[in-house]
Structure 1
Amino acid sequence: MTIHTHKKAFLLAGLIATGLLAGCRQSPEPEIDPTAFKPEGIALNTLPADVAIRWADMALRITTRTPGNSPTYASRAFGYLGLTMYETTVFGNHDARTLVGQLNGLKRLPYPQSGKTYDWVLSLNAGQAYLLKQLYEHTSVFNQRSVDSLEQVVRRERIDDVDAETVTRSEEYGRSVARAIYEWSASDGGHQGYINSFPMDYKLPGVPGTWLPPSDGQVAIPRALHPHWGRNRTFVPANSRMPMARPVAYSTNPQSAYYALYKAVYDKNKQLTQEEKEIALWWADDPSETFTPPGHSFNLANITVKTAQPGLAKAAETYARVGMSVADAFIICWKCKFTFHNERPSTFVRANIDPRWFPFWPEPPFPGFSSGHATQSAATATVLTDLYGLRFALTDSSHVGRHEDLVRNVSYKPRRFNSFWETAEESAWSRFLGGIHTQQDNEAGLSEGRKIGANINQLVWKK
């Protein structure tokens, strides 16, 4: 079922509310209750999710094709893109509630005009195009033109049966919401984070057990990636108040719990099965070659929407929840990483067990505890489970089509799961198999990710 074949049916009647001035404008004062809007006409959830899927695909494509991208910055972009998808369409849904007043510092957004008709697909389309180009203003001209091209394709599919005033009004509204969200994003601490990803002035504590930048890791720069990212503003206030998990105390005693954690990584890496190697590479999501680890989570949301085929309203909410979950997960995780500065297995193993050891997968440029993969995967699984249920079968095809890794003798085959939590557990386990995380990193990440996702779920999404 395509967007084009439903053009006439997709026009929504105007939003009727009292006390509003004409025009798309910022909400005047908090006494105007956005829940008072009463959309009429076709419910947003009767519209197919095609346009949301196409923009999610585009966001993933731009993330992959932008050189120098990082999981931290990508997670932030997915958070704002998902939120914008939701807020540009929320007033077309009889049951939904805006997140204005619920997120950190988001006090107002533009409202639609009272008594006017909007085409919400055009609003979403214009908002995604505007924001994606702003967040990735540093990407190539080709990528920017790809965004423009998709915007025009969707626009052409819809405008034949939409009057000119409605087209203009809908697109202006979508851009105004996206513009307001982008302006709000500039104060979160991660604005233009791609400019100085590896600050030279950051000093590591230098105590025993401290992480050291690897000389043979994923990147050539022996410095820490975004060491201050944990100070950024979270989307959800409750996530910023979470107490941090604490790692096991450092020890080189072979009888200690700390030693056992790192020895287990070393022992496992010496006897990986072929399937375990495939798991390690499937979730590796090297930012120089893929859409990054948070992109993998955003793509799981995309696969879920394609599989479940919900209406546009639920699809937009899905991308919003997953986007904000991975964004907050990276902030909370990075706060933990650069509070404790826990060493990776390679450092401890080479110093205390085997000086010639190399992990199966090269080490990323930041401390080990806790695991970013585990944290963001658990947050994603938690919100998707709340939306689609405990038992949801899906096939993860994220890396189908990639060339075989000849060095490690691994090809990329689709992976089948019976629940979202299975994806989170395998994502976390993959880092242990890769030799770059201990099980305490993974267990803490899964536990914290659950809490982060639960806080996203507890926002008031419905009236």
Structure 2
Amino acid sequence: MKRPNNLFLILHLFLLLHFTSCKENIEYVNTLSGSEALNDGNKYITEVMIHDIFSPPVASRIYAYPNIAAYEIAVMADPKYKSLMGQLNGFEPTDFDIPDEIHFPLASITAFYEVGLQLVFSEDKLIEKRDLIYSDIKKKGIPDQTYNNSIKLGKAVADHVMAYAKKDNYHQSRSFEKHTIRKEEGTWQPTPPIYMEGIEPHWRTIRPFFLDSAAQFKSVPPTTFSKEKNSPFYNEALEVFNITNNLTKEQTDIAMFWDCNPYKMNVKGHVMFAEKKITPGGHWMGIASIAAKASNLDWKNTAEAMAFTGLAIMDGFIACWDEKYRSVLIRPETYINQHIDEDWLPLLQTPPFPEYTSGHSVISTAASKALTHLFGEPFHIVDSTETAYGLPVREFSSFKSAAAEAAISRLYGGIHYMPAIIHGQTKGAKVGDLLISKVKTRNDNLAEK
């Protein structure tokens, strides 16, 4: 056996010292700088949105763009990922200068926060969270040049994504007319306790990411309105009335778990106070994050999961809202009070927009399709997204089963008729299937599913 020469010993010693000195950076890349920071970013942006009280459709937009930006950095870091540029409607490809000294996870985090900051009101709260991450990175000893390069690249990607976002018709829609309440029987009317005007009546005009148009999967019309007893529409309302009057504890728990009302107004005597919660889209982004953590995904996989789920939710809302303000259907609370029992109240507070189709049914089904595509089936989910709001965890054997529960929860809550749930699920499934067939996050020749 040959003895190693002095050159070999010197080289061995150099490598040993080198990797020992880089230990903190290696640990950081594998932990906070990657998937944990992206998951935390979505958690923090959720907290800010709850504080700012964004409606469910607008919240879906706020989730989508920052995660697209974070994902585009993952594409630069690993050739097996496929850019969304050139795939999403209007998202034009561009080239970025990528320096040799780069920390891709930091660039991804930067892109996420730079976009998020431009979409919320309470920027200071998000800046505070971002700066804590930046401070931790510096403490880990990342070289100044690498740090600065990474921030610069993240901002460049964020600028491109924001230029894309600014052309989706959101800002123009802020000046559109409010929804006009119709006088015809069977049309939506504002509901108690605060009789809020219909939110986002022009959401159908927002540019979708992958749908050809908001009406691509136009639902069948809702059941013909009638106040005659034993008519199909009357029986649908009677079904809501009877079920909500005889709820089991499990049904009540399901309804409360999936409430996801971002602004519930409580009334006690002459006192009114608001209770702010997560949105339906926020709940599903939370599920995506839980799945990423449970699967021990790295930061690139996590960015992929969050972006893909965000796309499903955003276009799901656009498709759903297209139908809501086409049919402008009366809510169960209004109908039942007028034609069955004037004192009846739903378990959940009725949201301020038309009934058909069910938003939870559409976006939950679309999101579950996206997540099943990425994580497979079965997939055990311990859903803790609502624990911050005083609700216990619920467990599911698949994303599909979670979505089905979210959909039926709207019947138990007394805020939807069954057709809105059934046809909402159909629409959501079509949205999810189109996303999977049309938008690819992996290069086929390099993908490792």
TM-score (norm 1): 0.82
Distance in 1, matches of 2:217 and 2:204, equals: 13
Pick from 356, 359, 369: which aligns with 1:369? 356
CA offsets 1:347-370 (integer angstroms, 9 cap, x no match): 211222112211111111000100
When residues 284 and 157 of structure 1 are mapped into structure 2, their CA distance, relative to the original with a 3 A threshold, is farther
Counterpart position of 2:250: 275
**Amino acid of the residue matched to residue 278 of structure 1?**
D
Equivalent position of 1:39 in the other structure: none
Name the CA distance, whole Å, in 2 between partners of 1:207 and 1:304.
Answer: 46
CA contact (8 A) 2:44 2:129 kept: yes
Flag the 1:397–1:204 CA change in 2: closer, same or farther, 3 A.
same
Q: For residues 247 and 306 of structure 2, what CA distance do their matches in structure 1 show?
A: 35
Where does residue 19 of structure 1 map in the other structure? none
CA contact (8 A) 1:123 1:173 kept: yes
Q: Tell whether 2:97 aligns with 1:118.
A: no
Match of 1:57 in 2: 43
Q: Residues 124, 351 of structure 1: CA spacing in aligned structure 2 closer, same or farther, 3 A cutoff?
A: same
CA distance in 2, matches of 1:365, 1:342: 12
Partner in structure 1 of residue 11 of structure 2: none
**DSSP 3-state at the match of 1:377:** helix
Alpha-carbon deviation of 1:445? 1.3
Correspondence for 1:348: 335
Distance change (3 Å), C-alpha of 1:154 and 1:177: farther
Paired position in structure 2 for 1:139: 122
Greater shift after overlay, 338-347 or 304-313? 304-313
Output the CA distance in 2 between the equivalents of 1:93 and 1:51: 19
- Deviations 1:87-127 (CA, angstroms, capped at 9, x unpaired): 122111121110111111111344233x7342111101211
Matched AA of 2:122: T
Alpha-carbon distance change, 108 to 154 in structure 1, aligned in 2, over 3 angstroms: farther
Report the counterpart of residue 417 of structure 1 in structure 2. Answer: 396
Q: Provide the residue aligned with 2:76 in structure 1.
A: 91
Asked if 1:324 is matched to 2:307, the reply is: no
Q: 1:140 to 1:313 in 2, by over 3 A?
A: closer
Question: Match for residue 209 of structure 2?
Answer: 235
Question: Aligned-pair distance for 1:76?
Answer: 0.7
Deviations 1:289-315 (A, max 9, x none): 222111111101111111111122211
CA deviations 1:191-228 (Å, max 9, x no partner) are: 397x67xx774213432210101132xxx353111111
- Using the alignment, how far apart are the partners of 2:157 and 2:126 within structure 1? 20
Q: Secondary structure at the match of 1:55?
A: helix
Cα distance between partner residues in 2 of 1:5 and 1:256: 72
Deviation of 1:145 (Å): 3.6
What per-residue deviation string (whole Å, max 9, x for no partner) do you get for residues 325-363 of structure 1?
Answer: 111111111111001101110121122211221111111
Matched, 1:212 2:189: yes
1:150 aligns with 2:137: no
Deviation at 1:427, TM superposition (A): 0.7
Match for residue 226 of structure 2? 251
Name the structure 2 match of 1:448: 427
CA contact 1:369–1:441 (8 Å) conserved in 2: yes
Within 5 Å, which residues of 2 pair with 1:155-174? 155-158=137-140, 160=141, 162-174=142-154
Report the CA distance shift for 1:255/1:414 in structure 2 as closer, same or farther (over 3 A): same
Tell me how many residue pairs correspond in the alignment: 407
> Following the alignment from structure 1 to structure 2, what is the Cα–Cα distance between the partners of residues 5 and 399?
37
Q: For residues 19-65 of structure 1, what are the alpha-carbon distances to aligned partners after superposition, in whole Å with 9 as ceiling and x for unaligned? A: xxxxxxxxxxxxxxxxxxxxxxxxx99x9522222212222222222
Name the amino acid aligned to 1:284.
D
Is 1:391 matched up with 2:378?
A: yes
Correspondence 1:64-103 to 2 at 5 A: 64-66=50-52, 68-103=53-88
Cα 1:419/1:101, change in 2 over 3 Å: same
TM-score normalised over the length of structure 2 = 0.85
Q: CA deviation at 1:140?
A: 6.0
Q: How far has the Cα of 1:185 moved from its partner?
A: 0.8
Tell me, yes or no, if the aligned pair for 1:126 and 1:174 is still in contact at 8 Å.
yes
User: What residue in structure 2 maps to residue 129 of structure 1?
Assistant: 113
Contact 1:189 1:229 (8 Å CA) reproduced: no
Task: Give the corresponding residue for 1:461.
Answer: 441
CA distance in 1, matches of 2:123, 2:101: 36
**Amino acid corresponding to residue 93 of structure 2 in structure 1:** R
Report the counterpart of residue 261 of structure 1 in structure 2.
236
Cα deviation, 1:121-180, whole Å, max 9, x if unaligned, reads: 1101211221111111x2263x1442332342353255x1x4333222221111111111
CA distance in 1, matches of 2:195, 2:331: 17
Q: Is the 8 A contact 2:81 2:442 kept in 1?
A: yes
Q: What letter corresponds to residue 324 of structure 1 in structure 2?
A: L
Aligned-pair identity in percent equals 26
| AA matched with 1:383 | A
Gaps of 5+ in 2: 1-21, 264-275, 444-449
Give, as a single letter, the amino acid of the residue that structure 2 aligns with 1:384: L
Provide the secondary structure at the position in 2 that maps to 1:395: strand
